[in-house]
Structure 1
Amino acid sequence: MTVRVVLADDQTVVRAGFRALLDLTDDLVVAEAADGARAVEAVRTTRPDVVLMDIRMPGVDGLEATRRIAGDRSLDGVRVVMLTTYQVGAYVFEALRHGAAGFLLKDIEPDDLRAAIRTVAEGSGLLDPAVTRRVIEEFARLKAPEAAGAERLAVLTGREREVMAPVAAGLSNEEIGKRLIMSPLTAKTHISRTMTKLGARDRVPLVVLAYETGLVRPGEH
């Protein structure tokens, strides 16, 4: 499977490095961008599968660019992965809130990069459930549950709310099925309906919302 990728980073050497790694595979770099505004334009023009997005860029930064991409319903098939030099940080958390599918460290190993791109392109969402959840938990500890966020959960059935907890814990459909005594297919159906009702592109927003609303608390799995 060829994965179409847009590289967005203000450093030419970084873009060149990632392009060189991807050129060794079947993946195809369809565009590069040195700032967020150009990244959004490139995404709308080329419709890639995955965007590797730097967080800090001049003008429109990666957070705003991610928000614009995630907010455009015509780009639902595009997954944004944030590039960062730190595992945990406020910028990474905000990126996940804005619709990023996950994040990668810029010094990632080549094989891990290729595997991550394929994971996201296939719609799996979380690159690494444990690491992504740790980022979300870290910042959930610093803030009280949001009432506005809790109101969003009102559209869910009791079963759909129940499914969000194991999703937030990073469990697979099979594991969720075992925990809630249902088939993996039924678990997948509940998750899909939950994502549709909440306007989520993948599982990441469900994890964020579960913690922000207090449905799941840091340390609970």
Structure 2
Amino acid sequence: MNREGAAPPAEATGLRVLLAEDDIPVAKGYQDILQKAGYEVVGLAHDGLQAVEMCENLRPDLLLMDIKMPRMDGLEAARAINMDPKSAFTPIVLVTAYADQQLVTRAKRCGVLGYLVKPVQLDDLIPALEMAHTAAQKISALEGAVRNLSEELEARKVVERAKGILMKRLKIDEEEALRMMQKESRRQRIKLKDLARAIISSHSIMNS
């Protein structure tokens, strides 16, 4: 690894990094640089399979992994990590001897968020990790927003169904049914969607 370049930032990042590299001197070089930059190196995997296992157990904030390793290569390890719910959101930066378009495409399909070409330059290593971590945060936030939207739409469907039941049962209009549900949810101190589910459940029992 080429150590030439600007010194790493002095401020601690607090991020926990797992290294996956079968060349011990190279791994130690990464470790020294990362620790000086404020990262916490939580473990060193010597092959791809061990990287998968350690990623699941240690839950690192980042994984820096060589593509060519014993037992399981970096791409297969990345795929396995992203298929496991316990480690699926781990940002992975892959280190490779070359980077053609085919490799980049395969890496993306395996969930890799960044890559470095050997010999790794010091002033490329930290930015690559930072960008991968930022990208992972954005993806997580986007997935969270989509999940929240899906839950909101589902809640609206449940409330609409419950309103329909009350309108039919009590011979009231939609506005009155909604006011009644809102008042009851406040009285019981439960969410409107939970009250709606209770109304639907009660209706189903009565009509079974």
Whether these two folds match at TM > 0.5 is: yes
Q: What is the alpha-carbon distance in structure 2 between the residues aligned to residue 118 and residue 3 of structure 1?
A: 10
Q: Which residue does 2:186 correspond to in 1?
A: none
**In the alignment, which of 52, 58, 67 is matched to residue 40 of structure 1?**
52
SS state at 1:2 partner: coil
Aligned-residue offset at 1:52: 0.9
Amino acid paired to 1:81: V
Give 1:84's match in structure 2, choosing from 92, 96, 108: 96
The aligned residue for residue 22 of structure 1 is 34
The answer as to whether partners of 2:97 and 2:118 remain within 8 angstroms in 1 is yes
- Determine the C-alpha separation between the residues in 2 that align with 1:70 and 1:80: 10
Rg bigger for which structure?
A: 2
Distance (Å, rounded) in 1 between the aligned partners of 2:142 and 2:36:
37
- TM-score by structure 1 length? 0.54
Size of the aligned set, in residue pairs, is 135
Does residue 1:120 correspond to 2:136, yes or no? Answer: no
The structural deviation recorded for 1:65 is 0.7
Residue 122 of structure 1 deviates from its aligned partner by: 2.5
Structure 2 Cα separation of the partners of residues 52 and 97 of structure 1: 17
Q: Which of residues 114, 117, 124 is equivalent to 1:102?
A: 114
- Tell me how far apart the structure 2 counterparts of residues 57 and 92 of structure 1 sit (CA, whole Å): 18
Structure 1 unaligned spans of 5+? 127-187, 198-221
Task: Name the % identity.
Answer: 35
What letter matches 2:15 in structure 1? Answer: V
Counterpart secondary structure, 1:99: coil
Kindly indicate whether the alpha-carbon contact (under 8 Å) linking 1:82 and 1:102 is maintained by their aligned counterparts in 2.
Answer: yes
Whole-angstrom CA distance in 2 between matches of 1:125 and 1:15: 26
1:72 matched to 2:84? The reply is yes
The aligned counterpart of 2:69 is 57
* Greater helix content: 2
Contact in 2 for aligned 1:6/1:52 (Cα 8 Å): yes
Q: Could you tell me how far apart the structure 2 residues matched to 1:38 and 1:14 are?
A: 17
Residues 53, 89 of structure 1: alpha-carbon distance in 2 compared, 3 angstrom cutoff: farther
Counterpart contact for 2:64–2:93, Cα < 8 Å: yes
- 2:198 corresponds to which residue? none
User: Do the aligned residues in 2 keep the contact of 1:53 with 1:80 (CA within 8 Å)?
Assistant: yes
TM-score by length of 2: 0.57
